[in-house]
Amino acid sequence: MKTISSLRILLLITFLIPFSSNAGLIVSGGQLIGATDVEIDGTLFDVTFFEGTCEDAWTGCDESGDFLWQSQADAELAGNALIEQVFINGVMGNFGTQPELTFGCENTSYCWIVNAFWNGSGVLNIDVNLNTNENSLAGPYFDPCSDCRDDLTYAIWTEAVNEVPEPATLSLFALALLFLHRIRKA
């Protein structure tokens, strides 16, 4: 009887633990090239880092339909999400303190990650400075040419395809224990 009560308590606790919402870093050869499932204001997005011109990054870079972000507030939320969820130090790399580990950033002191948005008449940017981890507004940029600089890369955002979060490992483990208990009981 004690085992059944313990299993019920464990199962209850595991379902009270929220589902996982960690961004998945995409790293190739030790270099950060993007991330999946970055949570911004309750919606999941994927981001890739792009080195090139604004025109190459956003098919023209000359009208509102080219950009996901349509306001400074949206671009600032995206910049904060990069700082809090993507540019972090961990087992995959020190992406929060070593800018050169991010695709398009060759400068070891700092790098600007460009979050472009349309302001109604042109393109402006919210840049994340990896050196200080602070957002700063810069612009208007019509073609800053990130491939001409070693301290600038574009953040290209898309809505995540699968917005259903995966259950936490502890929840899966508890379900397996419950299943094994039921089999033993039968």
Give the pLDDT means over successive 10-residue stretches in the chain (186 positions).
Answer: 52 42 89 97 96 84 89 90 93 91 89 86 79 64 62 90 62 70 73
pLDDT at 86: 95
pLDDT at residue number 141? 62
User: Do 50 and 139 form a contact (C-beta atoms < 8 A)?
Assistant: no
Model pTM greater than 0.75? no
For 134-143, the CB contacts below 8 A with 24+ separation are 135/76, 135/79, 135/80, 135/83, 137/72, 138/112, 141/54, 141/114, 141/116, 142/54, 142/61, 143/53, 143/54, 143/55, 143/61
User: Which among 78, 76, 14, 12 has a CA at the least distance from the CA of 45?
Assistant: 78
Beta strands in 11-151 (DSSP E): 24-28, 31-40, 43-50, 89-90, 93-94, 112-118, 123-129, 134-138
Contact assessment for residue 93 and residue 86, using Cβ atoms and an 8 Å cutoff: no
Rounded distance between C-alpha atoms, residue 54 and residue 59, angstroms = 8
What distance in Å separates the CA atoms of residue 186 and residue 25, rounded to the nearest whole number?
Answer: 44
Tell me what pLDDT residue 31 has.
96
